[in-house]
Chains A and B, each alone.
Chain A
């Protein structure tokens, strides 16, 4: 139960931090910000890794494997897409 409370504590603090992080973002950055944070939400890849290696049965393993593939697509695709978009902005900064 104590671990649980600790996790809830972390969750609450992270929520407040998330609210504070974004304040005045120029509208041109809304899309990259959305897609960049979308890549971060692929953090579920960590959970998928643990689920895949689980020794809890064949079904769980395959479900975990599916999660792992999808989460990796989300992570890799998300970062590459965002980088490509931001690369466009960069070019004419010179």
Chain B
């Protein structure tokens, strides 16, 4: 009877998750959807307290559970409250890695409680459990170390450049073979080799997660995180098979499938395939392979001169990129926007679908700075009116405004839709220095006759413009 009540509560929980994910997909309901799904999670946790195994563990079992949840909630709460809006991408990566490791540990804990092999005959069902355990460890382990590498790359603790070495693919292939062999060994349930096989699985999965993500450039990290998010769902789902728990299977699988679709959507926005993102080593060999050296030179302009042009402009489009996030410039950018508006100019912010390090990254930052929603324009809506724009201000964006994507078939980003900043009458490109950006590509935009570079920290530059506007 109690079991049935628990199962029914799990079904309700799963239903709530489904509604939650659905609501997260629309702007007006997203916040409610997230809170709803949190309630579903709470329900699942509370009802699990009545699980037969937990009840029979008695007061001691409850103490352990209460301790673990209290500790986790404290750490999670502090991490989530403290993180800056600009640090969101790496925070999501880190949390996702923890989820993957948790699933791996669930599999390990279950494996540790198996009766000693050799004492009882191995049933078919037990073999199935062993195979699923192996899969959970593999997927959970890859999610963990892969997410950690993504975290390090995004937070700048590790270079964002793709890290390639000779024989990389061969090594990956060997690791995969070892993982497959260890899975088979585990399923055979050989008394003497079972533990070795299990630890090999853990080590191999960790290694593959690192090897899989290091060759991927920082600019592609959003896609990688989305894919790893999908994998952490799959790991949770597999863990559900080990312990025969329906809510784990359903919720994990939902995340796995929806995360995969989201990944595909994000790849399409860049006109790439998942395979190209994962195995392309994008940006590593780019410098120098672009054929002829760029024609002309980059022309710099002082903020004073830029101010005069801005003051006369009737329509201004701001194109933010990751550089704006790094410089924490969103608040001064908003201030500049307001001053330009008071000056009679029409101001808009053009958001490329993959600007920044996560899709929607720029929306979050500009929203944080209180930029009115109506001023944020998506790429497809801004491009047709770009030729009528007086000034386009590119703040820390690079690849998403590189005309080579449209004109140069030899460019690695050829075919990626871009914001046509180069069609504006004047382009100001705010840039830290003369080097190439995150992807390592030369940007044709910076060499165009209508482009003026403003070197320096984006925040300082914009603040300078603001003080002159006020002047």
Q: Which residues of A contact B (CB under 8 A)?
A: 1, 3-4, 7, 10-11, 14-19, 21-57, 59-61, 63-93
Contacts and interface: CB of A to CB of B under 8 A. Distances in A.
Contact of A48 (B38, B53, B102, B125): B102
Contacts, number: 399
19 contacts: A14-B249, A15-B253, A18-B253, A28-B359, A33-B24, A34-B225, A35-B88, A36-B20, A37-B254, A37-B259, A41-B255, A43-B248, A46-B248, A49-B65, A60-B113, A70-B72, A80-B76, A83-B31, A84-B80
Contacts of B249: 7, 10-11, 14
Contact of A79 (B38, B48, B222): B38
A44 to B, nearest CB: 4
A58 B229 CA distance: 31
Given A15-B253, A26-B27, A76 B80 contact: yes
B63 to A, nearest CB: 10
Nearest to B233: A41
Nearest to B371: A92
Interface of B: 14, 17-18, 20-22, 24-28, 30-31, 33-35, 37-38, 41, 44-45, 48-49, 51, 53-54, 56-57, 61-62, 64-65, 67-69, 71-73, 75-77, 79-81, 83, 85, 88-89, 91-92, 95-96, 98-99, 101-103, 105-106, 108-110, 112-113, 124-125, 128, 222, 225-226, 229, 232-233, 235-237, 239-262, 265-266, 269, 351, 353-354, 358-361, 363-364, 367-368, 370-373, 376, 378
Q: Binding site of A, secondary structure by majority: helix, strand, loop or mixed?
A: helix
A35 B25 CA distance: 12
B241 A21 contact: no
Contacts of A32: 24, 30, 34, 360
A74 B64 contact: no
Contact of B233 (A17, A40, A81, A82): A40
Nearest to A46: B48
A91 B229 CA distance: 27
A69 B45 CA distance: 13
Given A41-B251, A77-B79, A49 B48 contact: yes
Contact of B262 (A1, A30, A76, A90): A30
Contacts of A68: 64-65, 68-69, 72, 102
A89 B369 CA distance: 11
A91 B85 CA distance: 15
A42 B102 contact: yes
A44 B250 contact: no
Contact of A18 (B239, B261, B269, B354): B261
A70 to B, nearest CB: 4
Contacts of A51: 105-106, 109-110, 243
A41 B252 contact: yes
Given A37-B233, A65-B68, A89-B27, A28 B360 contact: yes
B18 A4 contact: no
A22 B57 contact: no
A77 B95 contact: yes
A87 B368 CA distance: 9
Contacts of B239: 44, 47
Contacts of A80: 76-77, 80-81
B34 A4 contact: no
Given A11-B237, A76-B72, A40 B30 contact: no
Which of B18, B75, B91, B98 is most buried by chain A, counting CB atoms within 10 A of its CB?
A: B98
